[in-house]
Amino acid sequence: MYALKIILGQPVRFILTIGGIALCIMLMLFLMSIYKGVADGSLEYIRASNADLWVLQQHANNILRSTSILTDNKKQHIKKLPGVESVSSVLFILATLELPEGPATVYLTGFDPETGIGGPPELDQGSHLRDHDQIIIDRSFAQKHHIHVGDRLPVKKDTLTVAGISNGTNMFVLQYAFISLEKAYSLIGFPNIASCYQVKATPGTDPRELAERIRTEVEGLNVFDDPSFLENNIREMESGLLPLLFTVAVIGAVVLVAILSLILSIQVLERRNEFAILKAIGSPPSFIPSVVLKQALIYSGCGMILALILFFPMLRLVEMVSPEVAASSSLIQILAVSAGVGMISLLSSILPNHRLRRIYPLEVFMK
C-alpha cells in the first residue's frame, strides 16, 4: 500500500506521531472514565435506595449541592397519611476527621441501622453498623488514608470504630461515610432533625399520587418520586462537572487535529514531486486524496491501539497514587472515542488535500 510505504519511510516520525496521537486519545478516554466514575459514585447511593419518594425542605431538589433541614413534626405528619408504609430519616453532615496526616472531610450520613434505609449501597469489607460508636467509610477514602476495618477515627470530640468499607460512595471530591442517626444527632447537638426522608408507599399506592398528597397536606416540603429525584441529582452533577470535562476534551481533540494535519501536510510537501508525477501519468482523481486519507486513518488507528494498550495500566497507576480519582471505563466509551477519532481523521485530511490541489502535473517538467 502506497500510503503505508510513505509512513514507514520515516519510522522515527511515525513513532513520535502515533505517540502524540495516543496521548490525546488517552486524555479523552480518561475524561470519559472520570465522568462515568463520578456519575456512578455520586448517584449509586440514590439508585440503591429503593425509596418510592424523597422528601426535602422546600426549594431543595437534590442531595449533592443543596441544604435541607426537616423537623420531626413533619415526619410524624407524613406517617399518618394514607398510602405511607414507612418514613426513614437521613441526615447529611459535612464532617472533618482528624487523621495523622491531617484533616479530611467526609459526607457523613446518619441513618437508622435497624432498617438499613439510607445506609451504604454495598459493603466491600467488614460488616454493617452494630452499635452507635461505629462508622462505615468509602473504599477509596480508606485506601488513600490507609484505614482498615477496626481502626478508630476521631470525629469531632468522639472516636468511632471502622465497622465496614463501602463501594459506590465516592463522589470524587468528597466521599460518603455512614453512622447511626443517633450518633449524628449527638455530633451536631440537635436531635430529631433530618436532611431528607425516604418514603416507602404501601403496596398498590401510586407514588406520584402519594407525592401530591404529601405536598398538599404538609407545608414547606419538596417531594419527588425516585426517577425524578435521580434526574435532579444527575442534572446537578453534570452542571458542575460536564463543562470542565467537555472543555478539556475539546482541547485534546483540537490538538489531535493539529498534529495529524501538520504531519500529513509535511508529507504532502515532501512528496510533492511524486504526486505531480502521479498526476502527469494520469492517476485517477480520487487516488492521491485517498492516499492522504489512508495515512490519516493509519496514524489514528495505530494511535488508538497504542492508547488502549497504555490506558488501562495508566488507570491502575492513577488509582494507586490517588484512590479518590474514580475512573470507570466501558466498551461504549471506547467505541465512542474510536468513532470520534475516525471523524478527526477525516477533518485532518482536509488541509493536506487542499494543498494537493495546488500540485500541477507540469511541475514535473519544470525540475
Is the pLDDT at 364 greater than 60? The verdict is no
Q: Are residues 263 and 330 in the same domain?
A: yes
Is the pLDDT at 367 greater than 70? The verdict is no
Q: Are residues 255 and 193 in the same domain?
A: no
What number is the average pLDDT over the span 122-148? 92
Q: Are residues 320 and 209 in the same domain?
A: no
How many domains are contained in the chain? 2
Q: Are residues 137 and 99 in the same domain?
A: yes
* 132-146, 219-233, 317-331: least confident range: 317-331
Is the pLDDT at 284 greater than 90? The verdict is no
Q: Are residues 136 and 57 in the same domain?
A: yes
Identify the DSSP state of 202.
P
List, for residues 204-235, the tens digit of each pLDDT value: 999 999 999 999 999 999 999 999 999 999 88
DSSP 77-98: HHHTSTTEEEEEEEEEEEEEEE
Whole-model pTM?
0.79
Examine the fold and report which residue of 201, 220, 235 is the final residue of a domain before the chain moves on. 235
Q: Are 225 and 53 in contact (CB under 8 A)?
A: yes
pLDDT of 93 reads 92
Q: Are 194 and 75 in contact (CB under 8 A)?
A: yes
The C-alpha atoms of residue 75 and residue 56 are separated, in whole angstroms, by 11
List, for residues 44-101, the tens digit of each pLDDT value: 899 888 899 999 999 899 998 888 999 999 999 999 999 999 999 999 999 888 888 8
Q: Are residues 198 and 296 in the same domain?
A: no
Taking CA 21 as the corner, what is the angle to CA 289 and CA 278, rounded to the nearest 5 degrees?
Answer: 20
Q: Are residues 220 and 249 in the same domain?
A: no
pLDDT of 363 reads 59
Q: How many CA atoms lie within 13 A of 12 on its CB side?
A: 0
What number is the average pLDDT over the span 117-140? 92
Examine the fold and report which residue of 235, 251, 273 is the final residue of a domain before the chain moves on. 235
Q: Are residues 327 and 299 in the same domain?
A: yes
Q: Are residues 151 and 51 in the same domain?
A: yes
Examine the fold and report which residue of 201, 217, 235 is the final residue of a domain before the chain moves on. 235
What number is the average pLDDT over the span 23-31? 90
pLDDT of 366 reads 62
Q: Are residues 253 and 110 in the same domain?
A: no
Rg (CA), the chain: 29
pLDDT of 277 reads 65
What number is the average pLDDT over the span 313-339? 83
Beta bridge partners of 178: 109, 136
Q: Are residues 182 and 286 in the same domain?
A: no
pLDDT of 347 reads 87
Quickly state the pLDDT bin for 351 (edges 50, 70, 90): confident
Can you give the residue range of the structural domain that contains 296? 2-43+241-366
Q: Are residues 191 and 245 in the same domain?
A: no
List, for residues 156-167, the tens digit of each pLDDT value: 888 999 999 999
What number is the average pLDDT over the span 28-36? 86
